[in-house]
Amino acid sequence: NANRTVEYRSGASSVINIARDPRWGRVPETYGECPSLTGSIALGFNKGLLGFSSYESPHPPRVLKTLPVIRHLGAYAGPDHGRFLFDALVTEPDLELTYLPAWRTLVENHALAGAMSAISSLNGVPGIAHQSLLRATLKDSWRFDGYVISDCDTFPSLLENWDWAGTKAQAAASALKAGNDINCGPGFASLLNATRRGYTSRKDLE
């Protein structure tokens, strides 16, 4: 099919969300419902993309072949047409035992270059602004030294869907402070105004 833009067997293999409901969006792109199996497959896939000499090798190559970006940290769910409005309600034990192990596996094995925050929210906090998940857990606790990129077109949701921010500058500041390094879209263009208005500082940008 010449119009097919996603090859679900390979082109979308960067989705490691745990599939809990077949009605959720992105389910065809996931590895299934098992946290352990998802972690193992994602580890092998990413090591291959990065250029590791083998699955067992603990050391990344000196020159990386590619920089795989994995989606969507951490519990992306909901119907595809409502993904900008969906709030994934997940208990802390379930988050730790089900949704985060595959991510931790990639970080601990130096097989994660980039992590994409989710379009949906997690327990009332938009994925792009989830500071405890993106910064406290991923960057501070796990010491992930790669980059975090937003899912595409999520900045407007902070204003229109979640009422998380009142202005574009506030939305940009919130996403930056939460741990996003790169934005898929024009949202970070508002960081200049955010700095001028005191929502962010040069330290936040370093």
Is 151 catalytic? The answer is: yes
Considering the candidates 151, 153, 181, 204, report the single residue annotated as catalytic. 151
- Rounded Cα gap, residues 195 and 95, in angstroms: 34
Contact 116, 72 (CB under 8 A): yes
Shortest CA distance to 103 belongs to which of 131, 143, 65, 130?
Answer: 143
Distance CA 23, CA 29 (A): 13
Partners of residue 15 on adjacent β-strands: 71
Helix (H, G, I), strand (E, B) or coil at 159: helix
| Residue 67 tokens, joined | 């920089």
Task: Indicate the SS3 state at residue 148.
Answer: strand
Task: Give dist(CA 53, CA 14) in Å, integer.
Answer: 20
97 Cβ contact list (under 8 Å, min separation 6): 35
Q: Which residues are catalytic?
A: 151
